[in-house]
Amino acid sequence: MPVLGLGMWRLREGKQARDAVRLALQHGYRLFDSASYYRNERSLGQAIRESGVPRGEVVVTTKLWNSDHGYEAALRAFRRSQERLGLGPVDLYLIHWPVQGRRKDSWRALETLHEEGEVRSIGVSNYMVHHMEELLAHAEVVPAVNQIELHPFSYRSRRATVELCRQNDIAVEAYSPLTKGRRLGDARVEAVATACGKTPAQVLIRWGLQHGFVEIPKSSHPARIHENADVFGFELSREHMETLDGLDEALSTSWDPTRQP
């Protein structure tokens, strides 16, 4: 699994999404995070097909939306996503949100797709400790990935979930790693960035990589797509990591699954 990918929420279907994917491929991104809810699967598939990058080098992710839960409904939703992508088997298919009462049946559908070879890896998103424990108690296939909101401003509050994933060899994928831009101007992040000669965005991505998370920053701007991938030639010191680890304020920038039963 590549450790850096392009987040695709709010990349518009059509030229904007295609250009972002094409550029990201040129800058070395090999992981793409879409979802049926994002409505840009067609553009993702097209850009990959036209890129000349061997299909086997790219990890394509899409997700099951909340209104498509249930065994049969999930199978049908997957087929629609697969058709829109037009890339053959999907590399990673995630349950987008732990919809109460229906998520177990949906997981069975993902297991079927995995068994049939339609999906290479299956996983979940927004699963907190109680959702993970429930899933692990009935799953025949352990999820490969749990995608959750993770950045220094939510790190401590998500730690128990991260630990549980680690204990079960489940990769932790960090969504909204740049806090959707909301904390890029934080003085403490800026101070670390200045000390390293890097940008705040690069510092947040590097922080996640050093914690072993898969980072999926989103941008539609060429210079930022490049900037966000230029994070492998420096290292944050232990002191800087500790400073960033201490910034937790239980920040959720979109939806917070903590209280989802």
What residues are labeled active site? Answer: 38
Residue closest to ligand NDP (Cβ): 7
Shortest gap between Cβ of 179 and ligand NDP (angstroms)?
Answer: 6
Which residue, 46 or 125, is less far from ligand NDP as judged by CB?
A: 125
Which residue, 180 or 206, is less far from ligand NDP as judged by CB?
A: 180
Shortest gap between Cβ of 47 and ligand NDP (angstroms)?
Answer: 15
Q: Any residues with CB less than 8 A from the CB of 239 and at least 6 apart, and which? A: none
DSSP E strand boundaries for the chain: 6-7, 31-33, 59-64, 90-95, 119-125, 145-149, 171-175, 214-215
Provide the binding-site residues for ligand NDP, judged by CB under 6 A.
Answer: 7-9, 33, 96, 125-126, 147, 175-181, 184, 199, 201, 216-221, 224, 227-228, 254
Shortest gap between Cβ of 237 and ligand NDP (angstroms)?
Answer: 22
d(CA 14, CA 30): 20
d(CA 56, CA 34): 18
Nearest to 64 by CA among 153, 167, 147: 147
CB atoms within 10 A of CB 239: 10
Shortest gap between Cβ of 168 and ligand NDP (angstroms)?
Answer: 19
Which residue, 112 or 252, is less far from ligand NDP as judged by CB?
A: 252
d(CA 108, CA 116): 12
Amino acid at 20: A
Which residue, 68 or 227, is less far from ligand NDP as judged by CB?
A: 227
